[in-house]
Structure 1
Amino acid sequence: MGDQQILKGEEFEGKAEKKIKGWGLFGSKYEDAAELYQKAANSFKLAKTWDRAAIVYIKLATCNVKLGSKHEAATAYVDAANCYKKTSPKQAISCLDEAVNMFLEINRLNMGARYCKEIGELYEQKQIFDQAIVYFERSADLYQTEEVATSASQCRQKVAQFSAQLGKYQKAIEIYEEVASYSLNNNLLKYGARGHLLNAGICQLCKGDIVAINNAVEKYQDLDPTFSRTRECKLLTDLADAVDEEDVAKFTAAIKEFDSISKLDAWRTTLLLRVKENLKAKELEEDDLT
């Protein structure tokens, strides 16, 4: 069946090329070619020849641009990207970029936001976090413009997550504090605020400024009157004390106590390990001096 579909795809593609090169009314020949390219792409997809399907979708997009149909052209680029996701994430990103630009040109900001987010996710999968930040930030801005606050918040949290991973702790802190404030003013989200405040506090610990850490914990208790009674607040307070005392054992014990009830995710664990390594390094420095 695959070989048969490939032959059908090649036949449709060939006919489309002839339509474009041949005579005919400008609009009608591109309309006819677009229809044939769509059929060719479908055949290549059925044959699971993803690269060939993607290439045909790009040709379809070009036809739609000639016809002045930017929405259809952008959709064809998205279809091309979905095929390339199976073979070449780099090419998928390129096609989604084209789609985003076209959606923004026709003021479809919500669609632009959606596909910026997809590009961010592809960069996340490739662990290219600096580029992921660029696209998640762009997506957040577009969602905010469209007043899709929840999606904007989700994208900003991604920006905070990757910023912290890259050592840009202040940027992450500001985002997590902002998201926590937003959550506290929303009855559906307010119970998640403690998690955002914990994330912000962990980033403060990574910065290593004990005065800033203690000030942050006080600030979070003022921001959320219930925070002081949470396990998240106790963890931050215990960790801050351990950092102040340069006590690795106390630091480790506080994490183990929290983790025994609420499992720490990989991101939090990674950042806390950085803090622990800094504490160990200070201990070694002091041992060398004595």
Structure 2
Amino acid sequence: MGDQQFAKGEEFERKAEKKIKGWSLSGSKYDDAADLYQKAANSFKLAKSWDRAAVVYIKLANCNLKSGSKHEAARAYVDGANCYKKTSPKQAISCLDQAVNMFLEINRLNMSARYCKEIGELYEQEHNFDQAITYFERSADLFQTEEVSTSASQCKQKVAQFSAQLGKYQKAIEIYEEIARYSLNNNLLKYGARGHLLNAGICQLCKGDVVAIANALEKYQDLDPTFSRTRECKLLADLAAAFDEEDAAKFTIAVKEFDSITKLDAWRTTLLLRVKENLKAKELEEDDLT
């Protein structure tokens, strides 16, 4: 079946290109060619020839541009990206980038935001966190413009997550604090605020400024009067005390106690390990001095 569908795809593609090269009194040759390219792409997909299908979708996009339909051209680039996702994330990103720009040109901001987010996710899969941040930020701004607050918040959380992983702790802190403030003003989200404040506090610990950590804890308790009664607040207070005393063992006990009830995710664990390594290094310095 695969070979048969591939042959069909080639035939449809040949017919489409012949149609474009031909002369048409009605000027509908691009519409006719677009229909043939669509059939060719479908056949190549049935043959599981993803790269070939993607190439045809790009030809379809160009055809749609010739007939004056940017929306259809953008959709074709998205379809091409979906094929390339199976073989080449780099090419998928290139197609989605084209789609984003076209949707922006026709003022479809929601669609642009959606595909910026997809590009961010592809860069995340490739562990290219700098580029992931760029596209998640663009997506958040566009979603915010369209007042799609939940999606904007999800993208901002990704920006904060990757910023912290790259050591840009202050940027992550500002985002987590902003999301916590927004959550506290929303009845459906307010119980999640403690998690965002915990993330911000962990980033404060990574910065290693004892005074800033103490000030942050005070600020978070003012921001959310219920925070002082949470396990997240107790953990941050215990970690801050251990950090101030340069006591790695005390730090470990506090983490294990929290983790035994509320499992720490990989991101929090990674950052807390960084803090612990810093504490161990300080302990070694003290030992050397004595």
Alignment TM-score, normalising by the size of structure 1: 0.99
State the alpha-carbon separation in 1 of the partners of residues 144 and 175 from structure 2: 14
Amino acid at match of 2:20: I
The corresponding residue for 2:249 is: 249
After TM superposition, the structure 1 stretch with the greater mean CA deviation from structure 2, 21-30 or 44-53, is: 21-30
The corresponding residue for 1:288 is: 288
The corresponding residue for 2:177 is: 177
State the alpha-carbon separation in 1 of the partners of residues 94 and 37 from structure 2: 20
The corresponding residue for 1:210 is: 210
Deviation at 1:26, TM superposition (A): 6.8
1:198-248 residue CA offsets vs partner (Å, 9 max, x unmatched): 000000000000000000001000000000000000000000000000000
State the alpha-carbon separation in 1 of the partners of residues 254 and 111 from structure 2: 45
State the alpha-carbon separation in 2 of the partners of residues 246 and 285 from structure 1: 11
The corresponding residue for 1:54 is: 54
State the alpha-carbon separation in 1 of the partners of residues 179 and 67 from structure 2: 44
Deviation at 1:289, TM superposition (A): 1.1
Deviation at 1:24, TM superposition (A): 1.1
Deviation at 1:23, TM superposition (A): 1.1
State the alpha-carbon separation in 1 of the partners of residues 150 and 29 from structure 2: 44
1:73-128 residue CA offsets vs partner (Å, 9 max, x unmatched): 00000000000000000000000000000000000000000000000000000110
Q: Which residues of 2 match residues 18-167 of structure 1 at below 5 A? A: 18-25=18-25, 27-167=27-167
Match status 1:220 vs 2:220: yes
State the alpha-carbon separation in 2 of the partners of residues 177 and 27 from structure 1: 57
SS at match of 2:135: helix
Alignment TM-score, normalising by the size of structure 2: 0.99
SS at match of 1:54: helix
State the alpha-carbon separation in 2 of the partners of residues 25 and 12 from structure 1: 22
Could you tell me the percent identity over the aligned residues? 88
1:158-215 residue CA offsets vs partner (Å, 9 max, x unmatched): 0000000000000000000000000000000000000000000000000000000000
Deviation at 1:25, TM superposition (A): 3.5
Residue segments in structure 1 that go unaligned for 5+ positions in a row:
none
SS at match of 1:107: coil
SS at match of 1:27: coil
State the alpha-carbon separation in 1 of the partners of residues 13 and 134 from structure 2: 37
Moved over 6 A (4+): none
Deviation at 1:22, TM superposition (A): 1.1
State the alpha-carbon separation in 1 of the partners of residues 283 and 148 from structure 2: 48
State the alpha-carbon separation in 2 of the partners of residues 252 and 273 from structure 1: 9
State the alpha-carbon separation in 1 of the partners of residues 157 and 201 from structure 2: 15
Deviation at 1:150, TM superposition (A): 0.7
